[in-house]
Amino acid sequence: MKENLLLLLFPCNDYLKDIKHHDLFNECINERYIKNGYDFCVVNYKNSKLDYILNKSNILIEYNLTEEESHKEIINNGKLNIESIYKNTVFNSYKQIVVSGFCCFNCVKELANVLYSKNYNVQLDADLTDLFDANIIDDKWDISNFSYNSKIEKLLLYKNKLPKSIFKNLMQEYLNPIWNINKNLIEEIIK
């Protein structure tokens, strides 16, 4: 069994063109994962180019829909059929899978949850998603390491600015094991 896999979902040009720091995005993939022996898998839409991804992936999985078809599926069904990605047998050969890509609170989170429900050791790297540009301006951002603790500290700034119920719901999202955050820390914050 292989050790680790970084999975990047849907890094098509339409999403990545909005990221201002393409070189830094690629450098972050390299520093956090490639240099640490992770295999690199890209899942992309059918017939879609990868102009902004400079790191070569070991594994390329073509999703069964084009980007345009996937947008129609989201409109008609409210989401993509992420289960079809999970059915790819490549995942069976890894001890740990880190999920990243586009969009963080949609496909990325959903696939991470599917993998977790199938007993994979999985976590989500939110820095390597559509949140990239917002995350790198954080003074605690580290190109080599991902830490949810700094994200939680940032969210704490909103604790007294948001209605208590909204803040509680926001924080409860992070009790999900895919976020890799200490459950006791979240429960303490929610009190």
Terminal Cα-to-Cα distance of the chain (whole angstroms): 42
Q: Report pLDDT for 186.
A: 81
Give the C-alpha separation, 9 to 97, whole Å: 12
Cα distances (Å, whole numbers) of residue 18 to 22, 64, 69: 9, 24, 21
* Residues 108 and 76 reside in one and the same domain: yes
Rg (CA), the chain: 17
**CB 117 within 8 Å of CB 26:** no
* Residues 28 and 116 reside in one and the same domain: yes
Average pLDDT over residues 96-110: 88
CA angle 179, 181, 184 (to 5 degrees): 140
Average pLDDT over residues 109-116: 90
What count of other Cβ atoms lies within 10 Å of the Cβ of residue 79? Answer: 11
* Residues 57 and 151 reside in one and the same domain: no
Q: Report pLDDT for 17.
A: 63
* Residues 104 and 157 reside in one and the same domain: no
Q: pLDDT class for 18, splitting at 50, 70, 90?
A: low
* Residues 134 and 172 reside in one and the same domain: no
Q: Which domain holds residue 132?
A: 2-144
* Residues 39 and 106 reside in one and the same domain: yes
Tens-place pLDDT, residues 56-86: 788 888 888 888 888 788 778 877 777 777 7
Angle between helices 148-156 and 183-190 (to 10 degrees): 0
* Residues 127 and 74 reside in one and the same domain: yes
* Residues 13 and 85 reside in one and the same domain: yes
Per the rule left: phi > 0, alpha: psi between -120 and 50, beta: everything else, 60 is beta
**CB 45 within 8 Å of CB 10:** yes
* Residues 169 and 103 reside in one and the same domain: no
Instruction: With a cut of 70, say whether residue 122 has pLDDT above it.
Output: yes
- CATH of residue 24: 3.40.50.850
Question: What's the predicted TM-score (pTM) here?
Answer: 0.84
Q: pLDDT class for 20, splitting at 50, 70, 90?
A: low
Q: pLDDT class for 121, splitting at 50, 70, 90?
A: very high
* Residues 154 and 140 reside in one and the same domain: no
Give the C-alpha separation, 122 to 6, whole Å: 10
* Residues 32 and 85 reside in one and the same domain: yes
- Joined together, the tokens standing for residue 23 give 């070189």
Sheet of 2-9, strand order: 59-62, 39-44, 2-9, 94-101, 121-129
Instruction: Specify the number of domains making up the chain.
Output: 2
* Residues 160 and 121 reside in one and the same domain: no
pLDDT above 70: percentage of residues in the chain: 89
